[in-house]
Amino acid sequence: NAGVTQTPKFRILKIGQSMTLQCTQDMNHNYMYWYRQDPGMGLKLIYYSVGAGITDKGEVPNGYNVSRSTTEDFPLRLELAAPSQTSVYFCASSYSIGTEGSPLHFGNGTRLTVT
Amino acid sequence: GEDVEQSLFLSVREGDSSVINCTYTDSSSTYLYWYKQEPGAGLQLLTYIFSNMDMKQDQRLTVLLNKKDKHLSLRIADTQTGDSAIYFCAENSNYQLIWGAGTKLIIKP
């Protein structure tokens, strides 16, 4: 039982490049989330999904896209990387919506630098 | 607006108690959470408290909730070097979690 697995761990992008951050979970959780973590700030929700085929915007969705074709996978796509997207990205999953005592399970993060 | 506030750093001596404080804004929050983040890792749920409780104790951890002042605290008794981490407070608001910026706990020998 690996939990939530994110790849890659680190990545450096040039401005304007594209990339996909991968996230997979093996706990059969319906709910999945993408957050970004910036120094001195709380986690900001980028996108979330309540099940396969269903995604919705979080607080800071601009510049990102997601898809959820399977229960296990929830990739995050950056189409035209900008320096403002330099951050640490966390994928998480939960059994229920996470606000009813059901904990979020986090991956170990992807550290992205855009130069 | 929604905002969860925490101090960014707390320094304590090994063996002392650590008290990490948090203020939140949504009085309708039903659950409040403490997550722990160790270096290079994701966040892990440490404990949570339901809003109709004042206190919750779990081994070395004590959570206190003051709903009137919208104040949440996490006390770690007998702080050890393994407790060195960033501690995040979070509240649920409108079916989303709102996070504090995290308090980095520094342990002095």
- Cβ neighbour number for residue B108 with a 10 Å cutoff: 10
Contact flag A106-B44 (C-beta cutoff 8 Å) = yes
Query: What is the percent of chain A where pLDDT is above 70?
Result: 95
- Residue A2: per-residue pLDDT: 83
- Residue B2: per-residue pLDDT: 59
- Residue A98: per-residue pLDDT: 57
Q: What is the mean pLDDT of residues A3-25?
A: 97
- Residue A65: per-residue pLDDT: 97
Render B7-56 in DSSP notation, one character per residue.
-SEEEEETTS-EEEEEE---TT--EEEEEEE-TTS-EEEEEEEETT-SEE
* pLDDT above 80 (res A90): yes
- Residue B28: per-residue pLDDT: 80
- Residue A89: per-residue pLDDT: 97
The answer to whether B37 and B86 are in contact (CB under 8 A) is: yes
User: Residue B27 — very low, low, confident or very high, per pLDDT cuts 50/70/90?
Assistant: confident
User: Residue A36 — very low, low, confident or very high, per pLDDT cuts 50/70/90?
Assistant: very high
Contact flag A40-B101 (C-beta cutoff 8 Å) = yes
A-facing residues of B in 44-73 (CB < 8 A) are 44-45, 48, 50
Among B8, B88, B96, beta carbon nearest to A40: B8
- Residue B93: per-residue pLDDT: 75
Place of tokens 């855009």: A114
- Residue B17: per-residue pLDDT: 97
Maximum C-alpha span of chain B: 42
Tokens of B70: 């919208």
pLDDT tens-digit series, residues B67-107: 999 999 999 999 999 999 999 999 887 667 889 999 999 99
